[in-house]
Amino acid sequence: MSRLATRSHRPGLTPSPEPSTANEWLEAVRAEERRGEFLAEIDLANRGLERYPDDLRLKHRSVLALARAGSTNEAARRFAELGLGAVEDDEIAALAARIEKDFALSADGETRRRHAEQAAEAYTAIYVRTGDYYPAVNAATLMLLAGDVERSRFLAREVLAVLEREEDRSYYADATAAEASLLLGDEARALESLRLAVTKHGGLDLGSPRH
């Protein structure tokens, strides 16, 4: 019996077969993510990499799962070990920014300010390239943590401008609008956006999870 089948064998459940392609490994990793099983997600991503060591998606998931599990130091170590710093890809860049953000949120004083500034600059660069609201709102919040209120508010306004052009607003879009509105001190708009987000969450209109 394979290691995966052993891991998946629980009373009343049929053991899962071993994935046979990189895509199947990736889908198995995503399935564990959807269940919130971060340790299983990490294990599957690493085992998939044993079979497909050059697969960028599995490398990304291997590190992201560590970050989501709260293992920030290990995520940073693994990011460097896999050589992801040399990869020109916006998902990888967002992962690097996510790790810096996690370092900022777990620190205080000058260390927090420094990591927040680095993460904010990384997210800003992604926003400039992609025009996506999600890196922009991360950059705005982190700029505030870094003490740059003016740039934080500028980016928050950019976020709201991008969202106004969104035709299909997901839960994440409305939650992001609430965050940007709070950064601008507009509590009424933030509350309305949160109400919309809650309504969509109840209807399971979550869109895609982000870094």
Residue 154 in tokens? 């500028």
* Number of other CB atoms surrounding residue 47 within 10 Å: 20
**Is residue 15 predicted with pLDDT exceeding 70?**
no
Question: CA neighbours within 13 Å on the CB side: how many for 50?
Answer: 8
Give the CATH class of 89-211. Answer: mainly alpha
CB 138 within 8 A of CB 97: yes
pTM: 0.83
Q: Measure CA 180 to chain center.
A: 18
**What CATH class does 1-87 carry?**
mainly alpha
Equal CATH topology for 1-87 and 89-211: yes
Task: Read off the pLDDT of residues 143-180 as tens digits, 9 standing for 90 and up.
Answer: 999 999 999 999 999 999 999 998 777 889 999 999 99
pLDDT at 137 over 90: yes
Q: How many residues comprise the chain?
A: 211
Domain-wise residue ranges, the chain: 1-87, 89-211
Q: What pLDDT, in 10s, does the model give residues 175-204? A: 999 999 999 999 999 999 999 988 877 644
- The Cα–Cα gap between 192 and 56 comes to 39
54 burial (CB, 10 Å; 0-12 / 13-18 / 19+) is exposed
Strand, coil or helix: 19: coil
CA 25, CA 49: separation in Å to the nearest integer?
9
CA angle 128, 132, 136 (to 5 degrees): 70
Residue 106's nearest CA partner among 134, 76, 136, 65 is 76
